[in-house]
Amino acid sequence: MTELPSSYVPGRVYGCFFDDMVGIETRDLIGVTQLLFETDYPHQDSTWPSTPNVVAKIAERVSSEELEMIMRTNAIDLLQLDAASLVPANLR
């Protein structure tokens, strides 16, 4: 390794969570670009059917830009998806 270990995290190491306010509260240490929200539906150990309530709790603690990243754009970037193709044709 030629760099500090922490320099290898961005773009390579991601944390997924579905009900972890500690992750949200420490997002500045982790890096908000490395956080992904997961629903894990339909498993019984997920937040379903209360997922909207969990997202609302997260939204109270983060900016709208951070919420968009955690809920959507970080996954799009990680998976190299075409964001435009994720919008239904009737909404484009």
For residue 32, what are the contacts with CB-CB under 8 A and spacing of at least 6? 62, 66, 69, 70, 74
| Phi-psi category of residue 40: left, alpha or beta, with phi > 0 → left and psi -120 to 50 → alpha | left
Average pLDDT over residues 18-24: 84
Alpha-carbon distance 12 to 34, whole Å?
Answer: 8
Alpha-carbon distance 6 to 2, whole Å?
Answer: 12
pTM for this predicted structure: 0.82
- What's the pLDDT score for residue 90? 79
Average pLDDT over residues 22-33: 88
Q: Are the C-beta atoms of residues 14 and 36 closer than 8 Å to each other?
A: yes
